[in-house]
Amino acid sequence: MSAGSRRAVSRWWAGPVAAVVVAVVAAVALAPQGSGPPSSEDPSSTTSTPAADEAPSVEVSSDAPRLTTLTELVAAADLVVQGEVEATERGRTFGAPGGASLESRLITLRVDEVLAGGPPQAGTVLVEEEGWLDDGRALVVDGAAPTEPGDRGFWFLVEVDDPDMPVYRVVNAEGRYLLDGEATLVGATGDDPLIATVEALGPEALPPAVAAAAAAAAG
C-alpha cells in the first residue's frame, strides 16, 4: 500500500461518517498522493472494495479523544464482539454539492461471540468506516488500515442511530484488533499505550479482560 502524507484532521466521533467528511476532505484534499496514480474508476460504478495494494492511500490523523484503559474503551462501546468480516462494499457518498466528497466503506461483520453489550438481533452487524476520497485514494485514519474481507478479530463498536441506514462504527482507532495467526493481535499502527496493552493481552486473555472491564464500568 502506497501511503501519502499524514495530515491532521478534526473528527467528531459521536456521529456517523457523514459528520466527519468536511474535516477529512479539507485535510487531505491538498495532500500529496502516494507513489501510484489516483484510481480512474468511478467510485459509484462498483460495489466491490479495491484491494489495499491496488490503489494509493492517504494517511490522516484525527483529534479523536484517546482512551487510556481497557475499562474506558469498553465503557465507550455499545457492543464488543469477536467476529470475522464476511464482505465489504462501497457505501454512501458524503460531501458538499459540487465539492470534494468521501465515500464510506460498509463492512458486514459476522458476530461469533458477544463480549460486552446487548447481542445484535442478527448474526451479523453492519459497520461503516471512512473509505475513499473522490479521487480514488483510500483513507488510513489514525493508523487503522482499511478493513478487508476475511479479517478476524475484535471490534469495540458504537451504534449509530441513523434512520437512513442503522450502522455501527468503531469507537476510535483503539477499537479494532485483528488476528495475525491464532495467537497475535494487531491494532492500529503508532505509539498508543492502550493499543499496546490490548495487543499484549492476546486473543485468549482479551475476552475475560473485557468481561472484567464491563463489570468495572457497570459498577
pLDDT in tens, 169-185: 999 999 999 999 889 99
Measured between alpha carbons, how far is 93 from 72 in angstroms, rounded to an integer?
32
* Residues with Cβ within 8 Å of residue 189, at least 6 apart in sequence: 143, 145
- Of 46-60, 82-96, 185-199, 204-218, give the lowest mean pLDDT range: 46-60
Supply the pLDDT for residue 94.
Answer: 80
* Residues with Cβ within 8 Å of residue 10, at least 6 apart in sequence: 23, 27, 62, 63
Supply the pLDDT for residue 108.
Answer: 97
Q: In the predicted model, what is the mean pLDDT of residues 82-89?
A: 96
Residue in the structure block whose three cell numbers are 465539492? 99
Report residue 37's pLDDT band, with 50, 70 and 90 as the boundaries. Answer: very low
Q: Kind and range of the H or E element at 130?
A: strand 124-133
Supply the pLDDT for residue 96.
Answer: 59
* Helix boundaries (H) for the chain: 21-28, 70-76, 193-218
Residue 82 has pLDDT above 90, yes or no: yes
Q: Where are the domains of the chain?
A: 7-218
User: How much of the chain exceeds pLDDT 70, in percent?
Assistant: 73
Q: Are 132 and 102 in contact (CB under 8 A)?
A: yes
Report residue 55's pLDDT band, with 50, 70 and 90 as the boundaries. Answer: low
pLDDT in tens, 109-153: 999 999 999 888 889 999 999 888 888 888 898 999 999 999 999
Backbone phi, psi, residue 55, to 5°: -145, 150
Supply the pLDDT for residue 217.
Answer: 79
- Of 81-90, 132-141, 182-191, 195-204, give the lowest mean pLDDT range: 132-141
Question: What are the grid coordinates assigned to 25, written together?
Answer: 476532505
Measured between alpha carbons, how far is 52 from 219 in angstroms, rounded to an integer?
42
What distances in angstroms separate CA 79 from CA 23, 112, 156, one per listed residue? 27, 13, 6
Report residue 61's pLDDT band, with 50, 70 and 90 as the boundaries. Answer: confident
Q: Residue 108, class by beta-carbon neighbours within 10 Å (0-12 exposed, 13-18 middle, 19+ buried)?
A: middle
pTM, entire model: 0.77
Residue 80 has pLDDT above 70, yes or no: yes
